Structure 1
Amino acid sequence: MMESADKTTITYRIKQVREALCLTQVKFSRVISLSSGYLAGVEVGKRKVNERVVKLICASFSVNEKWLKSGEGEMFGQGHNEYTKLVSLYKELNLQFREYILKQIELLLDIQDKNPSDLCNIIEG
């Protein structure tokens, strides 16, 4: 039996988080700056989970670190409500509008990466 089938492991809980957020391995791994292959290895118990990965998951998705490490408490911590609301609103959009929203987010990320002050001008604008 693979380690990930054991519901007491951190690898299983990482998969639970990803599935609760309705994210593919590719999208989840992109957010936390891992390769999707590494994440797949984590989820099946072939790769170790280090402290850096734990911190990235918790910070990126408002996951309760104690829950992720031990299974104690709630899966998500404070700040998750905003993310959950965003995801649920996004799911209500038809495909055409979803694609538009994703393109806008990508454009904002490009602007932010190139010149953060440009982003302020657009938001205040």
Structure 2
Amino acid sequence: MTVNERIKQVRASLNLSQINFSRGIHLSNGYYANMELGNKKANERIIELISSVYGVNKNWLVSGEGKMFSREPDKRLEELIINFNSLNRHFQDFLLDQIKGLVKIQNNKETK
């Protein structure tokens, strides 16, 4: 099995469409679709992104050895990443500020 075939297997096991999977790793859907077809190669950056975003064991992705996932995928985190990546830069910055504010509020409540 090739790296590209393993990437497709990851996407299928996460039950994500090509569009949503490619958004999560900042690739155009066209490039990603061609990658699944074997027309484009998965470079080191793409492999790193898939590993970090979707919790995939990098060794498995490259060589097929070991378990597919290095950690259990967190569906909420995946959904957050996909939606975040679909926002324009202005809204991404706004959302990050909101999250930082919520963390600050939570930390203040926990210290009281």
TM class, shorter-length: 0.7 to 0.9
TM-score normalized with structure 2 length: 0.74
Which of 9, 12, 16 is the equivalent residue of 2:2? 9
Structure 2 counterpart SS, 1:76: coil
The amino acid that maps onto 1:74 is K
TM-score normalized with structure 1 length: 0.67
Gaps of 5+ in 2: 107-112
Residue 116 of structure 1 pairs with residue 96 of structure 2: yes
5 Å-filtered alignment, 1:95-110, equals none
CA distance in 1, matches of 2:92, 2:101: 11
Counterpart of 2:23 in structure 1 is: 30
Q: Is the 8 A contact 1:10 1:69 kept in 2?
A: yes
Q: CA RMSD in A?
A: 2.6
CA distance in 1, matches of 2:23, 2:95: 22
Q: Which has the higher contact order (CA 8 A, sep 6+)?
A: 2
CA distance in 2, matches of 1:38, 1:115: 27
Q: Is the 8 A contact 1:68 1:75 kept in 2?
A: yes
Counterpart of 1:5 in structure 2 is: none
Residues paired across the two proteins, number? 98
Structure 2 counterpart SS, 1:75: coil
Q: Is the 8 A contact 1:12 1:43 kept in 2?
A: yes
The amino acid that maps onto 1:75 is M
The amino acid that maps onto 1:31 is G
Which of 16, 39, 42 is the equivalent residue of 1:49? 42
Q: CA deviation at 1:49?
A: 1.1
Gaps of 5+ in 1: 1-7, 88-100
Distance 1:119 1:43, change over 3 A: same
